[in-house]
Chains A and B, each alone.
Chain A
Amino acid sequence: MKRTLIAIALAGALAGCSGGGGAAGESASPPAAGSSAAQPATAEKYAVITHGAVGDSFWDVVKNGAEAAGKQYGVTVTYQGDGDPGKQSQLIDQAVSEKVDGVVVSMANPDALKEAIGKAVAAKIPVVTINSGADSAKAFGAITHVGQSEEVAGRGAGEQLKAAGVTKLLCVIHEAGNVGLDQRCKGAEATLGGTVERLQVDVSNLADVTSKVTAKLQSDKAVNGVLALNPAVAVAARDSIKDSGSAAKLATFDLSGDVVGAIKAGEILFAVDQQQYLQGWLPITFLHLYKTNLNTVGGGLPVNTGPGFVTKDNAEQVAKLAESGTR
């Protein structure tokens, strides 16, 4: 036992000594002019840290956007995602100790990330928040927020559904920890004028989503509208509507190739598109401009990437883009 402890202590001590080297003193001040921007020689590095599980269809588009922007500007972009806010803030801590040039964070749970983001800001690392957490972005010291107001988007969806004649809506919540999803349901509730019921499902188990929504539609025939908050859930809910023989109208948040196909086929009424590709692309652009030219966009006011609506009319054009992973 004693030997074990000594071994660990030694390993730790060795590591401590040989550290120190670190990155070659990246100063927070930008170069004198923006002229150096075109040269890929600058080893700029940006970390994108989201609350989306790796492999999630929505977040994969954000990742694609960030990586494409990185390629465009010749800078390094890393992407990490973890739905546990504790782990997410550890990833932010890690990016800070790597002395990256900027951090992009989605804040599904702002309180839990406050300390980690504070540390980044204290280390003079510019932070752009994306997707969720617009209300806290400025207070935490982010240079700007890029996203879509969940409540506003929810209201938009509610209006459209009302116009389609929906009176009793099932709002399918797929992530138990995400406040933004609840805000979407609340927004829809505000404009629909009818009743909104919430159904809790687990996005990582789509078979279960289908059976749960089916069960709900079978047990409550008054439900004549379903609002999915995620494209994979929307496809699962489409099957539920078919299975249960319900005439409920289906709408969804966010796009995927399948969703666009279903919109073209008339199975899904519309999709609220927050154009999340921009939530990957724009923050890298903003951070790159901040680093090289000290620009801030809109004085730190949130930059809206949506909502846009994809309906049968424009689905055709969007279809190709969705399949290549940029919509």
Chain B
Amino acid sequence: MTSATADERLNDVGLVRRLLIRPELGAVVGAIVVFAFFAGQSPVFRSADGIANWLDPAATLGIMAVAVALLMIGGEFDLSAGVLTGTSGLVLVTLATRYGFNVWLAMAAGLVVALAIGLLNGLMVTRTRLPSFIVTLGTFLMLQGLNLGVTKALTGTVQVSGLARAPGYEGARAVFGGTIMVGGTGFRVAILWWLLVTAVATWVLMRSRAGNWIFAVGGNDVAARAVGVPAGRTKIALFMTTAFAAWLVGSIAALRYTSVQANIGIGQEFIYIIAAVIGGCLLTGGYGSAIGASIGAVIFGMADKGIVFLNWNADWFKFFLGAMLVLATLANRLVRRYAEEVKH
């Protein structure tokens, strides 16, 4: 009889624990707080139109944040991810408009280039054992120069445009850059890609052997190798995943705006990391979630657009944005700490 009551108590705590120890829980609470804050003050923010507005930046940011989160759980950074979105877009638009490639073929070429850069990042990090922060910082600068240099050499200006006239554009745009009407409001197709990427990444992390490997190499690289985890290959695959996401986001932007500027994506790499961290990733690796990163992107999107909806003076915009992010991250931390107390 006494043992039965003990079991009951254990079961009870187990249920609460299962919910609380999820890394994304803090982000969910943060997202609800941020949503309530803006929705309470701006009717447009909570209208269907408004939601479509702030889901738009959240979607492309979310795709990147999920890939970057996987990489961070695996214990590495990729600072070249932002500029790589520009590189992929530039390859796509340049091949399609200057060399008469079909848009689909140009996209495939962009994917090959992006994956090659991801592979290069991965190889450099795993072979040289240099910190990925430095290696990808180098890639970041090189790509930035390459984007501008090649664009200027080929076009004489700083942007390539005219993608709308390339063969295969309409179809590719519908799939990657179009809008879907839901009850009279246009939502971006990118939102579906974002949900798909989040779902796949979550499945890989939680349900596949590769997911275990990712947590293992990020948690303790040496121990992971000792028990036979292919650490090098796992990390290279993670860099290539980030590159794939950058290609997807770069292509979505290129197809939507039909032109790409040579300086696009610079500075975005930190936003990806911020979104992943808001979503519960640790900067030290080994802990985090894909859904969390997605919610981090939603928080960022809501703050980014919500501030505009509230008509706060643009001069102060970055201040408020920074403050929102710190608050969201703090809320996240508090919840996680509480969760850890419950856990023990």
Task: Give me the interface of A with B, judged by CB distance under 8 Å.
Answer: 1, 3-5, 7-8, 11-12, 15-16, 18-22, 54-55, 63, 76, 78-81, 84-87, 89-91, 93-94, 97-98, 109, 111-115, 175-179, 182, 200
Contacts and interface: CB of A to CB of B under 8 A. Distances in A.
A4 B279 CA distance: 12
Interface string B142-163: 0000001000000011110110
B257 A111 contact: yes
A151 B261 CA distance: 20
A12 B185 CA distance: 14
A15 B35 contact: yes
A143 B74 CA distance: 53
B158 A176 contact: yes
A17 B283 CA distance: 38
Contacts of A87: 57
Interface string B118-157: 0000000000000000000000000000001000000011
Contact of B157 (A3, A89, A179): A179
B28 A90 contact: no
B28 A4 contact: yes
B17 to A, nearest CB: 13
B39 interface: yes
B22 interface: yes
Contact of B305 (A84, A90, A176): A90
B24 interface: yes
A3 B308 contact: no
B295 A97 contact: no
Nearest to A15: B46
B259 A15 contact: no
Given A22-B47, A90-B57, A84 B264 contact: yes
Contacts of A175: 263
Given A3-B19, A15-B39, A111 B308 contact: no
B263 A176 contact: yes
B35 A1 contact: no
Contacts of B28: 4, 7-8
Interface of B is mostly: helix
A111 B314 contact: no
B295 A4 contact: yes
B259 A90 contact: no
Contacts of A22: 43-44, 47
A1 B291 CA distance: 8
A177 B263 contact: yes
21 contacts: A1-B202, A12-B51, A16-B51, A18-B46, A19-B46, A20-B47, A78-B314, A84-B264, A89-B257, A94-B309, A98-B309, A109-B159, A111-B164, A112-B258, A112-B261, A114-B258, A115-B256, A176-B148, A177-B158, A179-B158, A179-B159
Interface residues of B, number: 51
A269 to B, nearest CB: 27
A97 B49 CA distance: 6
B241 interface: no
A21 B39 CA distance: 13
B94 interface: no
Nearest to A183: B157
Contacts of A176: 148, 158, 261-263
Given A7-B32, A176-B158, A176-B263, A94 B257 contact: no
Nearest to A91: B308
B311 interface: yes
A94 B308 contact: yes
Interface string B19-58: 1001011001001100100010001101111111100110
B261 A4 contact: no
Contact of B24 (A4, A15, A86): A4
Nearest to A83: B263
B315 interface: yes
Given A20-B47, A111-B162, A97 B261 contact: no
Contacts of A90: 53, 56-57, 305
A20 B295 CA distance: 25
Contacts of B31: 8, 11
B82 to A, nearest CB: 11
Given A78-B311, A97-B44, A111 B161 contact: yes
B295 to A, nearest CB: 7
Nearest to B147: A176
Given A8-B28, A21-B43, A179-B158, A16 B314 contact: no
B270 interface: no
